Chain A
Amino acid sequence: MLEKETQSNVQQQTGATVLLTALKKQNVNLLFGYPGGAVLPLYDALYQMKFQNILVRHEQGAVHAAEGYAKVTGKPGVVFVTSGPGATNAMTGLANAMSDSTPIVVFTGQVGVGAIGTDAFQEADVLSMTAPVTKNNYQVRRVADLPRIVAEAFRVATTGRKGPVVVDLPKSVTQEQVTELTDDQVHLTSYQAKRPLDQAAMDEMLLALRQASKPVILAGGGIGAAQASTELRKFSKDFQLPVVASLLGLGDMPTDEPLFLGMGGMHGTYTANMALTECDFLLCIGARFDDRLATAPKQFAPNAKIAHIDIDPAELGKVIAADYPIVADAKVALEYCLAQPMKPAHDQTWLQLLQQRKAAHPYSYQESSTELKPQRVIELVGRLTKGDATVVTDVGQHQMWTAQFYPFSRPQQLITSGGLGTMGFGLPAAIGAAFATPDKTVVLFVGDGGLQMTSEELDVLAAYDLNVKVILLNNGTLGMVRQWQDLFYEKRRSQTVFDHQPDFMKLAAAYGLRHLKVTSPVTVAAELERAFSSPHAMLIEADIPALEQVFPMIAPGKSNDQMIGVK
């Protein structure tokens, strides 16, 4: 009798165990999630099958953590949330992942199939709500479809232009008993992730590139997503092509490489923005001419023939009309380029001019012997971590200073919210990154505004004592918005100066986190060195001046050569 019972237990499959089995098949061994009524069967199966779930403190945190994990590993991050409010809390993360093409699969609980449409407790129309912020979404209506849908969700999230996928799981499906397993053959008849490279178009483009005298490459997040950084570096070097990076393209080229001109756009380098303006051939690979980069599309690269290589055909011609539009994976395209006979034809004057500018106009800031400057803190951290830490940021001034002053050396090293600009992204993303690379130091630069948006995740940081150094650049203001008010609204600082703030050191202490406050430019180097010598989680609060600005800056709508605050 007893024996029989155990046996039937082993044989017993529910929708939930079918799901977890399907996840195992996708090599998923870590989830970020939060339980609730509609996902009780899932969490029960999880418990029994010993699946590791990181219990975040808010569902937004789960999604950002999965994004951080995905960016570091190149593998999809996986999230479980409950129905209704669990799913709506995940929306910001989905929108963020959609903007930055991050592969994640989010499983949302749903009320039972029979209750859908009755305004049941914690019912939300997840399919409709998530449609515009997902690459695709599914609702599983029969257990039999589950293995196939899971396989399809992972396929869609991780191929072509990557992105978030939602799988809505009615409770009746996850608790249903099944005896027979259905197959997981994907059936994506209408989905085209890859297209053959148009070699004729590539040849034509390369011919024009050879004839250019002032060529420049614009490298975006697509390089990292395609793991094509090695190819980019070689192409740039072999053919002496200077490279400008978008925010998400930082790390595609090493910061100290002479041919690397730095970040372009609103807070980019003088050299990069002038190169974008003066070039006669612009080869854009895996970037999408976002308005923070192509600040005035009509005046963008006015003298250039433009080649645009992107895996997503919809990006071609969306913002900037390309003379050579090419649909391709960045790696495939660059490999093709490398296989073609090509000599660096353009004369040296262009490269010399760029080198002179790089030397004359680096990023700069007013150093101080009394105040602790954020740029200095970032430079010091860059040196302490030898430019090799996984760097995560939140959104605001500190994000731009990090982009400017951290010496990135490898692709996918910077994890930041680019397209959506989501405050609150940083801390949970850093946690996800730390789970992905336990052997590496993760540095999070975050502002006092953004930290307060997801500070509940400090508890997760403390619980796992992850090697994350949270560097809070505290200026007591919503710095980036205040900067715009100072520059464009005659310093009317409407709602951007906090008149009350928590004691962040006490907050860290409450969570049981190591903490440190740095205030002096004299002692900061030694204090940071000590902090970074330990592998523990720590909140380091740097008291920085309230009114520091990010420069250079291109005012919104102005062209790339109209920078203010250039050294």
Chain B
Amino acid sequence: MMTNNPGVLNRFTGALNRRQVNIDSISISPVVDPAVSRVTMAVYLADKAASTQLLRQLEKQVDVFEVKDITDVPHIERELVLIKISALPEKRAELLAMIQPFRAAIVDVSSVDVVVQITGTRSKVAALLRVVKPYGILKLVRTGVAGFPRAESTSD
């Protein structure tokens, strides 16, 4: 959680960059209070100590309220992904059957491809991508994962 001020995100990502941490995904938007933003970020770190150190470096920034590592706590996470898949009309029934268990939907079609939309956790998205990969993925866009701990007692 951080204040929604100019330059804040720049400072936040700068701190990661300076410590050689690569951001895998990031999503940011204001919460109920428009002066405050919530960031969800996916980063890979070597161990718990690295994570603790990073949290402290981020938390010490004047505009940051708090930072939590939710990897190992029960949490809700979702990501929206759009995948353009090469699929001639005769293949589509099969494809539809393949993506059904993921509750993915076809949201656009052309003569040679379809666009599949999926919402879910990162592991669910990864599983779907494995399934559709053989058809040929033409384009992929991901919003980055967003989420928060399940049992969070505080409110925005």
Enumerate chain A interface residues (CB-CB to B < 8 A).
127-128, 131-132, 135-137, 139, 141, 156, 161, 188-191, 312-314, 316-318, 321
Contacts and interface: CB of A to CB of B under 8 A. Distances in A.
B: interface residue count bin: 20 to 34
A190 B3 contact: yes
Contacts of A188: 62
Contact of A313 (B6, B7, B49, B56): B56
B135 interface: no
A128 B10 contact: yes
A189 to B, nearest CB: 7
A314 B3 contact: no
B140 to A, nearest CB: 30
Contacts of B15: 132
Given A127-B7, A132-B11, A314-B56, 10 more contacts: A127-B6, A136-B62, A139-B6, A139-B7, A188-B62, A190-B3, A191-B62, A312-B60, A314-B53, A317-B52
Contacts of B65: 189-190
A22 B33 CA distance: 29
A131 B3 CA distance: 16
B57 interface: yes
In the complex, the 8 A-B pairs of residues with the closest C-beta atoms, listed nearest first: A314-B56, A136-B62, A190-B65, A127-B7, A131-B11, A191-B62, A313-B56, A314-B57
B142 to A, nearest CB: 27
B115 to A, nearest CB: 35
A317 B49 contact: yes
Contact of A314 (B6, B14, B60): B60
Contacts of B77: none
A137 B11 CA distance: 9
Interface in B19-63: 49, 52-53, 56-57, 59-63
Contacts of B52: 317
A131 B53 contact: no
Interface string B119-135: 00000000000000000
B130 to A, nearest CB: 38
B7 A128 contact: yes
Interface of B: 1-3, 6-7, 10-11, 14-15, 18, 49, 52-53, 56-57, 59-65
A318 B62 contact: no
Contact of B63 (A127, A128, A190): A190
B53 A317 contact: yes
A316 B14 contact: no
A156 B61 CA distance: 10
A108 B96 CA distance: 60
A132 B13 CA distance: 10
A135 B62 contact: yes
A189 B156 CA distance: 13
A314 B62 CA distance: 13
A161 B49 CA distance: 22
Residue among B7, B52, B56 with most chain A CB within 10 A:
B7
A156 B14 CA distance: 19
Contacts of B56: 313-314, 316
Contacts of B1: 190
A137 B14 CA distance: 14
Nearest to B7: A127
Contact of B59 (A128, A139, A313): A313
A141 B63 CA distance: 18
Nearest to B61: A136
16 contacts: A127-B10, A131-B11, A137-B7, A141-B6, A156-B62, A161-B60, A190-B3, A190-B62, A191-B63, A312-B60, A314-B53, A314-B56, A314-B59, A316-B56, A317-B53, A321-B49
